[in-house]
Amino acid sequence: MDTPQTILVVDDESTIREVIRRYLERDGYTVVEAATGRTALEIASREKPDLIVLDLMLPGVDGLALTRQLRERGSQVPIVMLTAKGSTADRIHGLDTGADDYLAKPFSPQELMSRIRAVLRRAPPPSALPRQTLVLDDLQLDPGSRVVMVHGKEVALTAKEFDLLWLFARHPNQVFTRAQLLDQVWGYGYYGDPSTVTVTIRRLREKIERDPSQPLHLLTVWGVGYKFAVGGG
């Protein structure tokens, strides 16, 4: 029998944590809870959850600061951020910080569950990935450890950034539309913010390109989509 996946739910409102817990446990997940960002950071380090449901507005260390700290520590745990701030600018800010998805309050528990399932489907376990390291020009990707090296130096990617780069790396010089990227990386039927692709592409360029404003690899094909160019392709 497979070990149940563990979800860390972080919200300072106990009623919201309880509702989310009931739905998660009904679907067979193991749930751990935290009411503050500081406690969540300790639990995340100790429990190594498979996903974090994270409220943006927390006392002390807020959701953005917590996400930033996790990413700086090299954690690739997927994060679904909850917030009462539902503007496009706020969503982009959350995604820029390293969240994998963003859901505005008030939300439907059923929609949250759908988002969680979609996020967890995106990154297959290491055992399901090929073990061979891919080398493309100055880039190396190890799918087993999910380590990326650029010019011989390791760069820290979020789970979704790695999944997107891995898709491009397996299909060098192939053009993908935004819809194809959403389906193959974010999951078929994904109905989150379409700017997610743009934000993730920008974050990847900042991490793997020498000059993100003039990328050599992760290129925009105007009117179509994006491609990862190698060998002058």
Claim to verify: residue 12 and residue 107 sit in the same structural domain:
yes
Claim to verify: residue 64 and residue 106 sit in the same structural domain:
yes
**CA neighbor of 160 nearest in space, from 182, 138, 142, 140:** 182
Length of the chain: 233
Q: Give Dmax over CA atoms of the chain in angstroms.
A: 55
Task: Give me the CATH number covering residue 99.
Answer: 3.40.50.2300
Claim to verify: residue 140 and residue 223 sit in the same structural domain:
yes
Claim to verify: residue 31 and residue 106 sit in the same structural domain:
yes
Q: How far is CA 116 from CA 44, 151, 201, 228, in A?
A: 17, 35, 22, 28
- The count of structural domains within the chain is 2
Residue by residue, pLDDT tens for the chain (233 residues) are 467 899 999 999 999 999 999 999 999 999 999 999 999 999 998 888 999 999 988 888 888 889 888 887 778 788 999 987 655 666 666 677 778 888 888 889 999 999 898 888 765 544 444 557 788 888 898 887 788 999 889 998 887 888 899 989 888 899 999 888 887 787 645 555 667 888 899 999 999 999 999 999 999 999 899 999 987 65
Show which of 59, 89, 122 is a domain's final residue.
122
Task: Give me the CATH number covering residue 210.
Answer: 1.10.10.10
Claim to verify: residue 138 and residue 117 sit in the same structural domain:
no
Say how far apart CA 44 and CA 63 lie, in whole Å: 13
Q: Where are the alpha helices (DSSP H) in 123-214?
A: 159-170, 178-181, 195-208
Show which of 56, 88, 122 is a domain's final residue.
122
Provide the 8-state DSSP code for 50.
S
Show which of 72, 91, 122 is a domain's final residue.
122
In a domain, 78, yes or no: yes
Output phi, psi for 149, to 5 deg.
-115, 130
